Amino acid sequence: MNTDSKTYQAYAKAHAKRSPMARDIVRAFWVGGLICVIGELLKLLYSSLTIPEDLIKILIPVTLIFIAGLLTGIGVFDNIAKYAGAGTLVPITGFANSMIATAMDTKSEGMIMGVGAKMFIVAGPVIVYGTVASLIYGVILWIAERV
């Protein structure tokens, strides 16, 4: 094979069948949108139960995380995600799934070195950089308030 690496890489990239982008975007949009609608419905539900607004803001993500966790546990979530792609990945459901799926997977290696140590292997970057981003935001806010 006389083709040099650069030419081959370009060839392989061009040769590879692309993901059906338009279809994926439509699916992600409606499923992701539906999750947001469920969030809104939960807000209405909790409001009707006269729960204070601060608590509702916490209860909505907690409920969504619980549902995503449950669906992951019974082996349904990955099938929905295969269809929806970013539609389930981007909302908090994707975060919940990445934690629960990892915990389920690493259970065989024990609760300490398995679940405990490896649970954050997928979601870790989100937690680390989410925390760092909120810290930077806090500093900016602190300065802005004093200027």
- Closer to other proteins at the Cβ: 46 or 99? 99
Residue 120 CB, nearest approach to other proteins (Å): 12
Q: How far is the CB of 25 from other proteins (least distance, A)?
A: 12
Helix (H) or strand (E) holding 79: helix 77-84
Nearest CB to other proteins, comparing residues 40 and 109: 109
Q: Give me the long-range contacts of 140-145 (CB less than 8 A, separation at least 24).
A: none
Distance CA 38, CA 22 (A): 24
Q: Six-digit token pair at 94?
A: 């994707």
Report the C-alpha gap between 32 and 25 in whole angstroms.
10
The distance of closest approach from Cβ of residue 59 to other proteins in the complex, given in angstroms and rounded to an integer, is 23
Q: Look up tokens 């970057």; give the residue.
A: 125
> Shortest approach of other proteins to residue 108 CB, angstroms?
4
Helix or strand (DSSP H, E) at 31: helix 21-48
> Whose Cβ is closer to other proteins: residue 9's or residue 131's?
9
Chain centroid, CA 127 distance in Å = 11
Q: How far is the CB of 55 from other proteins (least distance, A)?
A: 29
Of the pair 42, 101, the CB lying nearest other proteins is at: 101
- Residue ranges in contact with other proteins by CB under 8 A: 1, 3, 5-6, 8-9, 11-12, 15-19, 24, 72-73, 75, 77-78, 80-82, 85, 88-89, 94, 97-98, 100-102, 104-106, 108, 122
Task: Please say whether the beta carbons of 64 and 93 come within 8 A.
Answer: yes
Q: Which is nearer to other proteins, 83 or 137 (CB)?
A: 83
